[in-house]
Structure 1
């Protein structure tokens, strides 16, 4: 477990291990998620440009007929 100290101004330095785990660089933005049980999760904000191509599919497009056929097969299994 890693620790840091809070200054009188409410600032702290993230331990090196935490910065490395989150792949943080100077200027990165952080998000704090406070859970109901008092636990806090620290997340690195990612720019939208970093998400480009993440949803790209490697599958070939299917035709409407193929979709209808798959739906019919799934319904027949029930």
Structure 2
């Protein structure tokens, strides 16, 4: 099997069939005792990984928005305008 300039290889069809890999499937290369294994990532683990990546990105953004002393409600009204579904008493 040859590796392309982009670092890609073609997974043989019998292996794709055995692992249930189809276009769009996620796979990982896992190193165990100097042997690298190709494993299919199940959907639940994929969702778990995406959730972890999202939480990491959100944490990186924490504290980067300066509201200028406004409360959340005041800021939302500032960017959206006053709510017309509330009784203005």
Could you tell me the TM-score, scaled by structure 2's length? 0.46
Alignment-derived partner of residue 2 in structure 2: 5
TM-aligned CA deviation for residue 31 of structure 1: 1.2
Q: What's the Cα RMSD here?
A: 1.6
- Choose the corresponding residue for 1:48, options 38, 44, 48: 44
* Structure 1 residue 27 displacement after superposition: 0.3
Aligned ranges for residues 1-78 of structure 1 at < 5 Å? 4-36=1-33, 38-48=34-44
- Deviation per CA, 1:35-63, whole angstroms, max 9, x where unpaired? 12x211111011129xxxxxxxxxxxxxx
Moved over 2 A (4+): none
| Matched pairs, number | 45
Partners in 2 of 1:48 and 1:8 — Cα distance? 32
- For the pair shown, the structure with the greater C-alpha radius of gyration is 2
Structure whose residues are more often helix by fraction: 2
